[in-house]
Amino acid sequence: GKGLAVALGCHRQGAAVGLVLAVGNAAAPDALMRQLQQEALSAHLVRRYPGPSGQGAGWLAADGSNAILTFAGANALLDTAQVAASADALARAALVYGQFEVPQETVCAAFVLAREAGACTVLNPSPWQRIESPLLAQTQVIVVNEREAWQLLETADPASSDWSAAVASLWPRWPGGLQRRLVVTLGARGSLSFEPAGHCEHTPAPCVTVR
């Protein structure tokens, strides 16, 4: 899913990446393990669970926007015990990334260990769920798409209002220091990065050929 895609992308850019993953017992996990081996990505923190692996399918909505359907599968079984077993790797990380294909309490446990070791924590709360307070307090960077931003900021449509005013309402309920960042991805329009002091930086999207 999304976590694996991010990990693989970072690995291909030259970063040293460790994976804390849950997979099921079927043909798809076998193919995944072969791909990890081909990519030279370590699988020693990948755990197999009974039943199917998580799955996702991309659809095109009536308005032309992307829509993704997900089935948690083994992802729902990735628990805090597996995080505890990965504590040494988390303690060595410079950055720990999590998303909501796995339970929030699992992500929170990983972020607690990461913050104790001085690592940056990045959360992509997708598939969207409201971020519970304990996890929010352990998160330094939140990455959301435009629709998720509407829900996070509890406003109907930030795109039709003042982004800065909408984002300003987030900081008082998000514990942390000046290192916090909210990143909103806008597809072909690039992304916006907000910081508590009020600065906003726009990064244009690179031009790519879709194949």
Contact 8, 34 (CB under 8 A): no
pLDDT of residue 71: 64
pLDDT computed for residue 211 by the predictor: 67
Query: What is the four-CA torsion angle of 208, 206, 19, 130, rounded to 10 degrees?
Result: -110
Give the pLDDT of residue 116.
95
Average pLDDT in the chain: 87
CA–CA dist 132, 88 (Å, integer): 26
Mean pLDDT, residues 189-199 taken together: 93
165, HSE (Cβ side, Cα atoms, 13 Å):
7
Q: Which amino acid is at 101?
A: E
Q: How many CA atoms lie within 13 A of 97 on its CB side?
A: 16
Write out pLDDT tens, residues 41-59. Answer: 887 888 888 876 776 667 6
Q: Say which residues have a Cβ less than 8 Å from residue 27's Cβ, sequence separation at least 6.
A: none
The answer to whether the CB of 82 falls within 8 A of the CB of 47 is yes
pLDDT for the residue numbered 113: 96
* Residue 170, pLDDT score: 93
- The model's pTM: 0.88
Q: What is the pLDDT of residues 100-146, one digit of tens each?
A: 999 999 999 999 999 999 999 999 999 899 999 999 999 999 999 98
Predicted pLDDT at 196: 95
* Predicted confidence band of residue 159 (pLDDT cuts 50, 70, 90): low
Q: How far apart are CA 126 and CA 75, in angstroms?
A: 13
Which among 81, 71, 75 has a CA at the least distance from the CA of 98? 75
Contact 122, 141 (CB under 8 A): yes
* Helix (H/G/I), strand (E/B), else coil: 43: coil
